[in-house]
Amino acid sequence: MVSPTWPEVLLLLTLTGLSGFLFWRRFGPVVNTIRRSKPDPGMAPDGEANRVWDFVWEVLLQGKVIKERPLPGLAHAFVFWGFLAFALVTLNHFAAGLGVQLLPNDGFFAAFYFTFVALFAISVVLSMVGLGIRRFLVQPRWLGPV
């Protein structure tokens, strides 16, 4: 691995800081609105397990969207899961920009994971092509006008 120079690291950190600042400038007011909102009277503390299960089922497993529309739901799920799968690759690339080798290229885990993500990328591309065809060529009424 080639070590980055200090100007490169400084540029990366500066642009990352700027990106974080701009993100928080847009997202901060949303967080403040949520913090100032009144508690929902129907939300009891003993419902935590149900909310965790709902999060796992509806968000992580994409169960609700797959159940409602199986093919488009599965395509959406692959795009979402691809985002999750690429998170470690992105983190590894960012670490390399700082001169840190997060996943050694000669390690078993890195070889397995990069192969897994490469195969997963194919499913993401196919899903995005399918969703694009559905949106722009098939144009179901319930999606609204393009």
Q: Kindly report, residue by residue over 73-89, the tens digit of the pLDDT.
A: 999 999 999 999 999 99
Phi, psi of 129 (to 5 degrees): -65, -45
pLDDT over threshold 70, residue 117: yes
Give the pLDDT confidence score for residue 1 in this predicted structure: 74
The stretch 88-108 carries a mean pLDDT of 91
Return the percentage of the chain with pLDDT > 90, whole number.
76
| 38 pLDDT tier (thresholds 50, 70, 90) | confident
The pTM of this model reads 0.76
* Cα separation, 2 vs 9, whole angstroms: 13
3-state SS, residue 99? coil
Instruction: Count the neighbouring beta carbons within 10 Å of the beta carbon of residue 114.
Output: 15
Cβ-Cβ contacts under 8 Å for 123 (sequence gap 6 or more): 78, 82
